[in-house]
Amino acid sequence: MLQDVPNLGDKDDLVKVKPGYANNYLIPNGMATVATPSAKKAHAENLRQAAHRLAKQKEEALAQVKKLEALTLQVPTLVGKEGKIYGSITTLMLSNLLKEAGYEIDRRKITFEQEVKNTGIYTAKVSLHKEIKAALKFEVVEKAGE
């Protein structure tokens, strides 16, 4: 795999797929390459060179997990009767709030654990590393001045 593909594999993984899927989608879109013996050898060398860099990224992700789990974001939104929200809370909203708090996290790395339909405190999962996920708490509150 040349890049992460949801529900299939992560970058640098060796996965087995049907030939049509590989030839018609993955390879033309630059998501994967054929695992020839020479490609496997070059891939193994690249992995050896990247091992130190990945260990450093994992350490940074572990440090960031503690900071994110201590954080509680407030998401202001329009609220109707009985605390029911209008519209929806999106991962983009959380990503923008995290950016304001000083964290650069892509919206595609954030997933909700449950549907957000009312005001209250919820949890979202933030994927910081292939093996490391943080639980991000956020509170949906009524927008002031409405």
Q: What is the CATH number of the domain that holds 133?
A: 3.10.430.100
Q: How far apart are CA 136 and CA 1, in angstroms?
A: 29
Tokens of 27: 């390879």
| 73 falls within a domain | yes
Per-residue pLDDT tens listing for the chain (146 residues): 889 888 898 888 889 999 999 999 999 999 999 989 998 998 888 888 888 888 888 888 888 898 899 888 999 999 888 888 888 899 999 999 999 988 899 999 999 988 888 889 999 999 988 888 999 999 999 886 54
| 136 falls within a domain | yes
| 75 falls within a domain | yes
Q: Which domain holds residue 84?
A: 63-142
| 67 falls within a domain | yes
Q: How far apart are CA 18 and CA 13, in angstroms?
A: 16
| 84 falls within a domain | yes
In the prediction, which pLDDT does 145 show?
A: 57
How many residues are listed for the chain in this entry? Answer: 146
| 56 falls within a domain | no
Q: How far apart are CA 58 and CA 75, in angstroms?
A: 29
In the prediction, which pLDDT does 17 show?
A: 93
| 24 falls within a domain | no
For 85, other C-beta atoms within 10 Å of its C-beta total 20
Q: How far is CA 145 from the centre of its chain?
A: 33
Tell which residue, 61, 73, 56, 57, has the closest CA to residue 134: 61
- Cα-based distances in Å from 77 to 15, 69, 73, 82: 42, 22, 13, 14
Query: How many domains does the chain divide into?
Result: 1
Tell which residue, 39, 141, 53, has the closest CA to residue 97: 141
| 25 falls within a domain | no
The residues that bridge with 120 in the sheet, in sequence order, are: 140
